[in-house]
Structure 1
Amino acid sequence: MAIDRTLLWPSQSIPKRGPKPRMTLERIVAAAIGIADTEGLAAASMQRVADELGATKMSLYRYVPGKSELTALMLDKRLGAPPAPATAAQPDWRTALSAWTIEIHRRFSEAPWTLELAVGARVIGPNELAWTERGLAALTGTPLTGAEQLDVLALLSGHARSIVQQQTIVEPEHVTAVLMSGIIEEHATRFPYVAAAYASASVSGVRDDALHFGTDRILDGIQTLISTRTN
């Protein structure tokens, strides 16, 4: 069922005069986000949000038609707009997209429940669309087509999201190595490459760097493609 897109993209109307209502859409969304942050997305039901606000469930429907609209608003608000550029000078596309990927990973990491909502064909809110705008701006001037530029952003955001999904614990690779150390050593002849890789990582001290490693490798590939178009 299609959602009411006017909630995400309200028209610029003249503010109504009169006393400020006790309940607002902003309060409802903020309460739902607070519940999702502490208890998970499933807990942020219309009834739970109403209880949090000391209101009735039916009263919420005056402001938001249903859960689909509420979660769309929650995602856009919680993700937030991309940070403003530190300087007026536009960095090179690679530096800009690296920072873009690291920051969007941080935003999703702060609220992993947003991953479930940021998938599929849907009406995208202004904050989320601003991330796309910022990423495309970084690629302006490259020989990539519009479709290819969108694919670059899909690759980078998908990489960032997949790392968030893996990072349910801090330093998962290190923790796995600790938990599996005896087993890996005991079965080293059966899994020699696994044993060698973990041993090497232990000696080097470089672990759990898949976010930066993967981002750099994706950008390496894009740089190679751009080079073939410009030579």
Structure 2
Amino acid sequence: MSLLWNRTQTTKRGPRPRFTLDEIADAGIALADEQGLDAVTMHAVAERLGTTKMALYRYVPGRAELDAVMLDRALGQPPDPVAGDWQTSLAAWARLVYERYLARPWSVELVQRPHPPGPCELAWFEAGLHTLAGLPLTGGEKLDALALLSGQAISIVRQQAFASTPEHDLAAALAPVFAERSSSYPQTAAAFADAADGGREGALRFGVERIVAGLEALARDRSDPAGTPVS
């Protein structure tokens, strides 16, 4: 945990350190960007930095700690909140989360592993919770709302990692089946035929809009007895 909160500092014992934790994280990130997360090992990171694996352990005790500083470094600080009502701001937050993960798709693997959130990840929590501050929700419900939105973003990024156009590829794969057996799957065939070519952008927008609408309905149900909407 202390590594995440002091990653720009160097260690204090022994000879003057050659690297900061941010520099080590950047080396791991570069490897993940170029070759994928499987290529990131303590040995590979050390080699990229021009040092030895044993020397690297002086800075990070193991792979779990390396993953933690890489993830926090990759997420970075959230942008300034988008102006507008809470619905607009929350939808924009979800979109920004998606864009940050999409820039480095391997980060969705790290964020879903058990880990203590670092300062940047907590800053994203803080930004999201700020948009929900005026709603009649418990703290747990607000965290669940952010989990739903970030989960939607992560699921779309994960699909993109396997195929650049997953919806189109699936429709193409099913076309011969529907051509011969559409009567066996009439609803599915009709849905694919009617689906707009929105791709992952459409799927992200649809999911975020539905989650935000659900939160809005819940807030309305918990509004004052006169039924004044929560803004």
Smaller-chain TM-score bracket: 0.7 to 0.9
Tell whether the 8 Å contact from 2:7 to 2:22 is kept in structure 1 after alignment: no
Q: How far has the Cα of 1:44 moved from its partner? A: 0.7
Tell whether the 8 Å contact from 2:97 to 2:153 is kept in structure 1 after alignment: yes
Identify which of 186, 190, 193 aligns with 1:196. Answer: 190
Tell whether the 8 Å contact from 2:77 to 2:124 is kept in structure 1 after alignment: yes
Q: 1:216 to 1:25 in 2, by over 3 A?
A: same
Letter in 2 for 1:221: G
Letter in 1 for 2:59: Y
1:167 match:
160
Q: 1:172 to 1:145 in 2, by over 3 A?
A: same
Q: How does 1:209-220 map to 2 (within 5 A)?
A: 209-220=202-213
1:146 match:
139
Q: How does 1:56-95 map to 2 (within 5 A)?
A: 56-85=52-81, 90-95=83-88
Unmatched segments (≥5 aa) in structure 1: none
TM-score by structure 2 length? 0.87
Q: How far has the Cα of 1:121 moved from its partner? A: 4.4
Q: How does 1:181-192 map to 2 (within 5 A)?
A: 181-192=175-186
More divergent stretch after superposition (54-63 vs 177-186): 177-186
1:157 match:
150
2:36 match:
40
Deviation per CA, 1:159-207, whole angstroms, max 9, x where unpaired?
A: 1111111223222112222232222221101111111111112xx5445
More divergent stretch after superposition (150-159 vs 108-117): 108-117
Tell whether the 8 Å contact from 2:31 to 2:39 is kept in structure 1 after alignment: yes
SS at the partner of 1:141?
A: coil
CA distance in 2 between counterparts of 1:146 and 1:124 reads 17
SS at the partner of 1:112?
A: coil
Unmatched segments (≥5 aa) in structure 2: none
Q: 1:165 to 1:12 in 2, by over 3 A?
A: closer
CA distance in 2 between counterparts of 1:205 and 1:112 reads 22
Tell whether the 8 Å contact from 1:101 to 1:157 is kept in structure 2 after alignment: yes
CA distance in 2 between counterparts of 1:120 and 1:229 reads 35
CA distance in 1 between counterparts of 2:198 and 2:40 reads 39
Tell me, yes or no, if structure 1 residue 228 matches structure 2 residue 199: no
Q: May I ask how many residue pairs the two structures share in their alignment?
A: 219
Identify which of 118, 125, 129 aligns with 2:122. Answer: 129
CA distance in 2 between counterparts of 1:113 and 1:126 reads 20
Deviation per CA, 1:126-163, whole angstroms, max 9, x where unpaired?
A: 00000100011001111112111111111111111111
CA distance in 2 between counterparts of 1:99 and 1:156 reads 11
Letter in 2 for 1:173: E
CA distance in 2 between counterparts of 1:103 and 1:163 reads 13
CA distance in 2 between counterparts of 1:11 and 1:188 reads 57
Tell me, yes or no, if structure 1 residue 111 matches structure 2 residue 101: no
Tell whether the 8 Å contact from 1:185 to 1:195 is kept in structure 2 after alignment: no
Tell me which stretches of 4 or more aligned residues in structure 1 moved more than 3 Å. Answer: 19-22, 204-208
Tell me, yes or no, if structure 1 residue 54 matches structure 2 residue 50: yes
